[in-house]
Amino acid sequence: MMAAAAAQPDLGGLVDALCASGRSAEAHRRVALLLSSSSRHLDGRTANGLLRRLLRAGTPLLTLRLLQAAAGAAPFAVSLPNHNRLLAHLSSSSSAAAPWPLLLAHRHLLRMRAPPDAASYGALLGGYASLADARAVHNLLDEMPRRDLAPSSLARSFLIKAFLRGRDVAGAMDLAETHLWPATERTRGDEEDQGTKNAAFAHLLQSLCAEGFFHVVFHVADEMPQRRCRVPDEFVYAQMVDSLCRAGQHHGASRIVYVMGKRGVCPSTVSYNCIVHGLCTSQKPGGRLRAYQLVMEGVHFGYRPREVTYKVLVEELCREKEVAKAKDVLELMLQPHCAYDKPDDETRTRLYNMFLGALHAVENPSEQLGVLMSMLQEECAPDVITMNTVVHGFCKVGRAQEARRILDDMINGKFCPPDVVTFTTLISGYLDVGEHAEALNVLHTLMPRRRCSPNIVTYNSVLKGLFCLGLVDSAMQVIDEMKLNNVVADSVTHTVVIKGLCDAGQLEKAKGFWDNVVWPSGIHDGYVYSAIFRGLCKLGKLEQACDFLYELVDSGVFPGVVCYNILVDTACKQGMKKLAYQLVKEMRRNGLSPDAVTWRILDKLHLYGNEEHGKEHRPPTCNMDQSSGDDRVEPLISTKNEIPSLLSLSSSEYLDEVRKNNNDGKVEQVGYLPDTTESSSDLTESAKGKDYLMDNAALETTIDKVYTIKDDGLTKQDKQPSRESLSAVARKELLESKEHHI
């Protein structure tokens, strides 16, 4: 028994790890094997704990199929909370285009062994209300008394939500006047507690704001009909502010604050801060100035913005060049809330540092110097973050010599001593203005004198600056210096070196650096691959770039969509349409989906192809633009040696075929997750309709096809298509293109 108890946490941890890594199907298969095993029976508590962990993965259809398969063999009873969790997940995953998860949830409710409770019906009520099915909601409300469940005011609010989803705001408010408020007013004593009434009113406000009926919310704020059911005014105003802020209507929430002020009600600091923070981050014009006004007006009831809100507010005010108003907010934060509540020195320094960082948007380091002098006058000692911020401000505008004078003052003891960030910032400032000698002097002389060892960030800054200045030899010497100082290079280092060598035209050195340094180290990511692909394509080595891509895939490394887009864009610019489409197919074979950039590149290729086809009979002109000639798409080449799948398709037809295959491929890849929604890369509404429009019987057939319950549990066939040699396709494309030009 002790061994079984010790194995239980390991099993739960395994299920959590599989679900967290996106392998929910495997987690369900393992649990199914465990439940169907005759040698080991789990008790009800352990089995329900595993089901609870599976439901956290957000794949309710898999869990439902598991319960259906284990209904006859499982010796335990599924707990009612797990049933309710499953119903809630199924109901929330349904939509107007795919209502079948909700239908499955309703059928599961009818087949539950445990009697449903109010939470069970609440999950279904929320699902049908989201689909604007008021008739189904009404039927469920009528069915609840037959199950000895009295519909509460919260349950009735779902019927109002269904009317609002159907855009019948008049009918919804009439229903609230005739059923919701009188019903809550009649309930006395133990029939319904005040918390349920408050929840019903909060749900009504959330539904109004979610559907965009903000004028009704303001009407409710004026009339206050909830007083009939004794909902407190403070709770009502707080819920209005919260619902409006969740809907992005922070200006409307500030209007509620003014209504509260007229009635002598002070808002809570949480609600007020939510409005101010939302106005700071809002994209609507005037939000920052409105937030500043609210902060100043909130002083009379003791409001102080939180530090995160203060940081965002001063940054946005400085970005709009309202430095004076930002200083007012700083002075407000530095003032004590009361006579004995004065901010300590650490808090004051942190507030000053946030304001100094916000002044970077002004690009005037003199303002930062003024703030630094104010700190000294107020006897607030600046720390190293303060000095690094000021140094960065001077380096950002190209005034590296003045930054050096501040560093000298720090070294001489006028301020706190510098750290590695200070030296790195100064080195970057020198390199940005082209003073590489001064930068190397700081690196090789000043830092060792101060016993400050450079880290990988320092070396990356030096390498980037030297390569930008074209000093390749000096940059390679810095790399050797890194090895001597035992500083391990990271992917940023490799990216900077490869990009710098390719920009300098030294392709052979870049290849040697990859073969001898990067690949043996195992430290490489998508940024490194992108730098290699960009360098090869920039130097006109598209065939070598395709060969490198194929070698990476054969080595078990799968580049991201960005790498493929680089190759597709280069192929399109060179007029190699077949190669571009082949790269898209290769992308899908490797488990990637083309993104919006990929389709935009291919659409541009097709558009340019049509323009060139319409211009091919026009006489040439004398003043041809050189850049337009480089971007011209070559005419279609001979098709006698084309890939078989391209024989009967034009470029536009093939583009549609690739998109169609892409959508089909997604359904195949996530076949074990029927509840997964379509991603944004699906481009046609017709494809979505074909995927989602199915009846209940078709759904059961689909689930039975996807899942098969055997002795080994939940299994799924995994089919991987064979891959063609991408490098061979690239070589053939280049040869055909050359023959065509000849």
Q: Is residue 5 part of a domain?
A: no
421, 422, 425, 426 alpha-carbon torsion, rounded to 10°: -150
Helix or strand holding residue 382 (H, E): none
Looking at residue 683, what is its pLDDT?
Answer: 31
Pair of tokens at residue 387: 């000095």
Nearest to 403 by CA among 374, 431, 444: 431
Looking at residue 280, what is its pLDDT?
Answer: 94
Looking at residue 44, what is its pLDDT?
Answer: 79
Looking at residue 341, what is its pLDDT?
Answer: 66
How many domains does the structure of the chain reveal?
Answer: 1
Dist. CA 134–CA 542, nearest whole Å:
60
Pair of tokens at residue 409: 């003052």
Angle at 166 between CA 162 and CA 170, to 5 degrees: 90
Looking at residue 736, what is its pLDDT?
Answer: 57
Dist. CA 328–CA 299, nearest whole Å:
12
Q: Is residue 243 part of a domain?
A: no
Specify burial of residue 259 (Cβ count, 10 A radius: 0-12, 13-18, 19+): middle
Tell me if 283 sits within 8 A of 319, measured CB to CB.
no
Return contacts of 315-318, CB within 8 angstroms, 24+ apart. Answer: 315/357, 315/358, 315/361, 316/280, 316/288, 316/291, 317/288, 317/292, 317/358, 318/358, 318/359, 318/360, 318/361, 318/362
Q: Is residue 143 part of a domain?
A: yes
Looking at residue 21, what is its pLDDT?
Answer: 86
Dist. CA 393–CA 663, nearest whole Å:
49
- Farthest CA pair distance, the chain: 95
Tell me if 666 sits within 8 A of 593, measured CB to CB.
yes
**Stated length of the chain:** 742
Looking at residue 38, what is its pLDDT?
Answer: 54
Instruction: Give the Å distances, CA to CA, from 459 to 121, 428, 452.
Output: 62, 10, 13
Q: Is residue 124 part of a domain?
A: yes
Q: 133 lies in which domain range?
A: 79-151
Average pLDDT per consecutive 10 residues, the chain (742 residues; last block may be shorter)? 47 87 90 74 82 92 89 74 94 90 94 91 95 94 92 92 93 85 52 82 93 93 82 91 94 94 90 95 90 93 92 95 94 77 86 95 91 91 94 93 94 92 96 94 93 94 95 94 92 95 92 93 92 93 92 90 94 90 91 91 74 47 36 32 32 42 39 36 37 37 33 37 43 51 46
Q: Is residue 146 part of a domain?
A: yes
Q: What is the pTM of this model?
A: 0.72
Dist. CA 651–CA 462, nearest whole Å:
47
Q: Is residue 122 part of a domain?
A: yes
Tell me if 25 sits within 8 A of 716, measured CB to CB.
yes
Q: Is residue 142 part of a domain?
A: yes
Looking at residue 292, what is its pLDDT?
Answer: 95
Q: Is residue 99 part of a domain?
A: yes
Q: Running DSSP on this structure, what letter comes out for residue 211?
A: T
